[in-house]
Chain A
């Protein structure tokens, strides 16, 4: 059984502006399996939205191939459109239109009869805590409600694969957390494959089974959040010692740990990196006891995806 949901090879997009051509996406290879939640992480302008729009048939690639939900992107764009849902960061509804009518009208474009559409829409709205918005104007909804309404619009035809473009941008922390719960439910309860772009590290970190990192139009890393963090920078261990003269000796002991880099001693403080801080710490403290070194403080910092990005590209995601 073929469980690939997206299979893209050397996908490229070049824009022409004022006689110059700009390579927004410079050869992206990516695979997404059915039932995965994949986070597509990168700074603004990295090519996230361009890649997403290509996979959604909203933008023709200038090079490369892709099979999305079993349909060839170039050969059968209508087949792709039938199978996918797309939730844009720009929204999907007219402010003066009523929520329920927008959903049913959208469903009709997929050939769904209004009765089925309404039944599905009411259920989806209830699932996303929007049960009472049916007759309300879309423009009168809050930012978080509108974003969830966009998701309902994108799911009304029960797509196998849904693309979410920066779904939590502009939402308050509580709405974001709610949204994440709903996105997880999508996969857990309906088996929907979710492809989500974000420039928030915490979002990619907490939602995704797997993360793809894109920078300057190319995929620069991929893996589970844990793998990525482990592979790239490791955990930071910061030791505070009772006596400054112990620091040099402590640094020597720490440097012997498997996989550790060269520790840096600064007064009472020693700082170094190991691949897995949690398992290194008991070993280290046992060694200290043997050597008569007294540590009065120990801190293990897990790397964030921002550290990962910084190590990979030399630039911060926040730039």
Chain B
């Protein structure tokens, strides 16, 4: 089927271009490592405070950082597609018989590969700080982060290509990602929050994804929390893929 071969073609091209710019990948992973080093130790004494969720500081904090990596890794890829559109690459691909969904999915896959590599680096670093996590749980956690990142990539490419302007896209990304970040309990668990803030965060799907990864890291695989997070991640991906396909189709409308 042409969808798979086209996706592979777009993916290999995008991957090759990313590997030529390893600086960006490095910068992307540097940020969570800074959080790990400069913020993580502050949480260790907090882990015994009332309201702190089960598990030690690292099994609470590292999943949050992973989700942050997924959100920010994905959210900014839209800048790349604006540049590609400007250099004529998007029109060149649209005028080929390639599947429209493949054009965006190939790029999303590249982002997922980059994200997974960053997540592995982050987890390995966290092991040195004292994170203890079963290998199977870490793998499942990384898969969930990959799904989340894919959803964000789809949304980001859709928004970038729909707007075609970095000046309009940058404020949008900040406006969307900051509340998502604050209301998902990435830095501090939402269980510490007053009730109104907890209620607000309950409607944020990303909080449930963070909670699911935290549950995984505690070794709770078959729980409702994990199922809910996984389901939300899958719904987000489906919505993102639909939006991406739609935006690529709208390019010729």
Contacts and interface: CB of A to CB of B under 8 A. Distances in A.
Given A88-B92, A92-B89, A111-B2, A78 B13 contact: no
Contacts of A88: 88, 91-92
Contacts of B91: 58, 86, 88, 90, 92
Contacts of B111: none
Contacts of B17: 94, 96-97
B92 A92 contact: yes
Grouping DSSP codes into helix (H, G, I), strand (E, B) and loop, the A interface class, with mixed when no group exceeds half, is loop
Given A96-B20, A97-B13, A78 B87 contact: no
Interface stretch (B4-12, B174-182, B198-206): B4-12
A30 interface: no
A82 B97 contact: yes
B21 interface: yes
Contacts of B12: 105
Nearest to A77: B252
B92 A95 contact: no
A109 interface: yes
B253 A96 contact: no
B84 interface: yes
Given A57-B95, A81-B96, A96-B17, A108 B5 contact: yes
A95 B6 contact: no
A36 B198 CA distance: 70
Given A90-B88, A97-B17, A59 B252 contact: yes
A106 interface: yes
A93 B91 CA distance: 10
Interface in A89-141: 90-97, 101-102, 105-106, 108-111
Given A59-B252, A101-B16, A93 B88 contact: yes
A5 interface: no
A209 interface: no
Contacts of B83: 94
The B interface is mostly helix, strand or loop, or mixed, namely helix
**Which size class do B's interface residues fall under?**
20 to 34
Kindly state the interface size class of chain A when it binds its partner.
Answer: 20 to 34
Contact of B9 (A59, A82, A96, A108): A108
A84 to B, nearest CB: 8
A92 B87 CA distance: 6
B252 A57 contact: yes
B252 A58 contact: yes
Contact of A86 (B6, B21, B95, B252): B95
Interface in A29-69: 56-60
B234 interface: no
A78 B97 contact: yes
A95 B17 CA distance: 10
Contacts of B98: 109
A179 to B, nearest CB: 17
A153 interface: yes
Contacts of A110: 96-97
B87 A91 contact: yes
A82 B20 CA distance: 31
Given A59-B252, A105-B9, A94 B95 contact: no
25 contacts: A56-B95, A57-B95, A57-B252, A58-B94, A60-B252, A60-B253, A78-B97, A81-B95, A86-B95, A88-B88, A90-B87, A92-B87, A92-B89, A92-B92, A94-B84, A94-B89, A95-B87, A96-B17, A96-B20, A97-B17, A105-B12, A109-B93, A109-B97, A111-B2, A111-B97
Given A58-B94, A58-B251, A108-B9, 14 more contacts: A57-B252, A84-B95, A88-B88, A90-B87, A90-B91, A93-B89, A94-B17, A94-B83, A94-B84, A94-B87, A106-B93, A108-B5, A109-B96, A111-B97
